[in-house]
Amino acid sequence: MADTREGLFDRLPGKSYTAAAVSIAAKAGEWIRSKAGQHETLEIKANASDLVTEVDKGSEAMIRNLVKTYFPEHGVLGEEGLYAEGATIGEALEAAWAGGREYVWIVDPLDGTTNFVHGFPFYVVSLALAWRGEVVAGVVYDPNRDEMFVAEKGKGAYFRGRRMRVSGEGALADSLLATGFPASRGEMLRDNVAGIGALAPLVRNIRAAGSAALHMAYVACGRLTGFWELNLNPWDLAAGALLVQEAGGKVTDTLGRPYSLETRHVIATNGSVHEELRKVLDEAGATGMR
């Protein structure tokens, strides 16, 4: 394949990368939906808020197999893969690009496991493709509502066949925000609560529904004005970040630096309220940066 941006979405065996991502996410989501209320195992990872079931693992195995069927030369970075075995984020990222791979799929097979376990229908499959470390395609699929959010780098973001755009609110006072609570119970949680305390009096309201990927998809389609969360991982953010950016929004870390796969503390907004939100978090000591 030509080493040019124009060649990023050349068709391979009759399927574009984005079409393959949509197909893979839909298959995994359909399987997850068939398992709702039927999980048999529940494991605790770092703490009681960090859960995994056989459904998470089965979804990731399905996604890995499908990716390898379509694109055997591509790498896969997933939440239930090397990272789950004790590798650091850096080690997992390095392993994903091992052997000179240019393309790596970044997979959250079930973002919102706690919701899934409790029967709260707010969880998704998140799937992104990175080329040389840059996210170039991403999908977030909500199997409960059969909603597929799709983006290609430089080609826009789409929902139900129509172009997505972020919301038009111009000030925090008119904004509906969302956040999430980190699994860790230490400084990150304290920072997160401080951010909520600082922002709650300034905004229309705040939601915390338990899926970073779906919150970011909601920013992209205008259902939310903005979203912030601390201590996230590449698979939580990669697809959602591209959705927001391609829908006309802005994604940075909590210090205002551009999003990358190394970003852990994120702000994603319609762009208009971004700096105002970032400043409130900074003044509250709620950036997660110490």
> Which residues lie closer than 8 Å to 143 by C-beta, 6 or more apart?
29, 30, 32, 33, 123, 124, 125
Q: How confident is the model at residue 272, as a pLDDT?
A: 98
Q: For residue 225, give both structure tokens.
A: 């004005």
Q: Which amino acid, 285?
A: G
pLDDT at 13: 38
Find out whether 166 and 219 touch, Cβ atoms under 8 Å: yes
Interval 215-257: pLDDT, tens: 999 999 999 999 999 999 999 999 999 999 999 999 999 999 9
Nearest to 280 by CA among 200, 179, 214, 170: 200
Instruction: Pick 178 or 183 by higher pLDDT.
Output: 178
Cα–Cα distance for residue pair 56/200, rounded to 1 Å: 33
Q: Which residues contact 40 (CB under 8 A, 6 or more apart)?
A: 53, 54
Assign 35 to helix, strand or coil: coil
High-pLDDT (> 70) share of the chain, %: 86
pLDDT of residue 265 exceeding 60, the answer is: yes
Gap between the Cα atoms of 147 and 182, Å rounded: 26
What is the structure's pLDDT at 45? 53
Helix (H) or strand (E) holding 52: strand 51-53
- pLDDT tens-place string over residues 184-212: 767 888 999 999 999 999 999 999 999 99
Tell me what pLDDT residue 82 has: 57
Q: Which of the two residues, 248 and 98, has the higher pLDDT score?
A: 248
Q: b vs e for 36-66, b when ≥16 Cβ sit within 10 Å of the residue's Cβ?
A: eeebeeeeeeeeeeebbbebbbbbbbbbbeb
pLDDT at 52 (0 to 100): 63
pLDDT of 4 reads 37
Who's near 39: CB < 8 A, 6+ residues apart?
A: 53, 54, 55, 116, 117
Q: How many Å apart are CA 125 and CA 194, to the nearest integer? A: 30
Which band of pLDDT confidence, cut at 50, 70 and 90, is reported for residue 92? confident
What H or E segment, with its residue span, contains residue 116? helix 113-118
Predicted local confidence at residue 86, as pLDDT: 65
- On the question of pLDDT at 5 being above 60, the answer is no
pLDDT (mean) for 3-22:
58
pLDDT at 127: 97
Confidence of residue 41 (pLDDT cuts 50, 70, 90): low
User: Over the chain, what is the mean pLDDT?
Assistant: 88
Which tokens go with 129? 């493709």
Q: How high is the pLDDT of residue 15?
A: 45
